[in-house]
Structure 1
């Protein structure tokens, strides 16, 4: 999906706009905390589209992620197995990761999403901010060759020039880090970020979200049907943990079954499916 397609129906709340502006002015990463399905990772698409930053560089983090692999990967085995007659250029066995591509971008700053940073190990977050703040990272495999400037492949078909083995930022990238609040971060890390906590939207905000999402369809639901689904969502959220994504799934299912000639579900089945789609995310 293109950034425009992700961004168009997304409605940024006032606190989101203020946090984004602060991160841009201060050149600080934006740390967004909230439950799954609250739009944390979609906000960066909106910003990238509005500021013409191009495609967002996405880095899904897990417990095995390291800053180095975010900057680059090196296929040492592949280079050793390459025929000597072919030259075996080292840059052909290097691939920039999302962080490396963000640092190496030229012309305009780019947007980098570090998704679910709370899944990383304890040292990862501070190591990441050190690299972002310094704006550079050394690739020893290239530095040792003394080749000067070489072109290295990156994600999404990008190609970047790396000089003397150093990936250096021309512009500070717009960095968004998301967290599902599954763990606490140390104070030294938090003070280096602009922080935003995303909660469940109000009823008015839910109505705006639904209206925006339904704008992609040639027809919209009657208001009474929208109200019924929102009422169910608010009722569920009062007694358990639910996400905006669940609400939208129920809305889209209702849209898909409005055509009487093509519908698969009876009215009662649709009601039961809505209930199932909006089950609590926690036991």
Structure 2
């Protein structure tokens, strides 16, 4: 069972090596990288390429580790007991299975995506150490141990919003998705728009990298935002000439809202354009 990328996902040799190493070691694959570099999409395409079910656990700031195992709804059970509901005799009716439980009981080996783990409390990763190591957990309400039928392929993504504990990192195989170079970016664009004008791609990518290189930019545009921008250029039938002959005193590219996502960066680009106009007089 090896991952070689898909027709919808351009994976570098280093990324394919990391995925296959994690599968061989049976370790969680911890993926970091800039937002928009395809971390979440990697798990989706792994499942598609390997013919495995995908189970996704989107982590939020309020997410607790036990929610990935199960949750016991004692309030509903109390209410039903007051109403005379016969289901209260079986506590299993009030246990909601979490994403780890789903992955452990999957009929075939699943891909489990724990998305944006760094959004949760700092103790969240440590609280999962035993379950990820032993591939089992105990349900106190029913006095049973849930063991994984098949060890899931676990992909964990992080945007580096906070540091992860060393004990957790030791149990993962780590890979950082570096921002794509020009050649890789062209391949990614071709996956999404196979018939796009090569001249438009060349000039759009050049503008894109020029924008990323602007000093002081608060948020650099990502790969996914380039794809959105190209979609708009195609939809509005923006000619290549509009990018090639763009006025250098106008630092903001057409349809910039797909690339620039905050007012500070817009103001920065406007100041640069103003300075260029003054220098060209």
TM range (shorter): 0.7 to 0.9
Whether contact under 8 Å (1:38, 1:198) holds in the other structure is yes
| 1:237 maps onto 2:212 in alignment | yes
State yes or no: 1:60 paired with 2:65. no
Alignment of 1:102-181 (within 5 A): 102-106=103-107, 108-143=108-143, 165-181=144-160
CA distance in 1, matches of 2:235, 2:99: 37
Q: In 2, Cα distance between the equivalents of 1:85 and 1:242?
A: 56
Q: Tell me the distance in 2 between the aligned counterparts of 1:253 and 1:93.
A: 48
Matching residue within 67, 70, 90 for 2:68: 70
Are 2:13 and 1:14 aligned?
A: yes
2:197 is the counterpart of 1:222: yes
Indicate the larger mover: 122-131 or 243-252: 122-131
Which has the greater radius of gyration? 2
Query: Mind listing any 5+ residue stretches in structure 1 that lack a counterpart?
Result: 1-6, 144-164, 261-266
Task: Find the aligned partners of 1:186 and 1:76 in 2 and give their Cα distance.
Answer: 32
Query: Aligned partners of 1:45, 1:129: CA distance in 2, in Å?
Result: 24
Secondary structure in structure 2 of the residue aligned to 1:142: coil
Q: CA deviation at 1:60?
A: 1.4
Contact 1:10–1:212 (CA under 8 A) maintained in structure 2? yes
Cα deviation 1:118-162 (Å, max 9, x = unaligned): 11222211221321111111111122xxxxxxxxxxxxxxxxxxx
Structure 1 Cα separation of the partners of residues 29 and 223 of structure 2: 21
Q: What SS does the corresponding residue of 1:201 show, helix, strand or coil?
A: coil
**When the two structures are superposed, what TM-score results if normalisation uses the length of structure 1?**
0.79
Size of the aligned set, in residue pairs, is 242
RMSD: 2.3
Equivalent residues of 1:8, 1:46 under 8 A apart? no
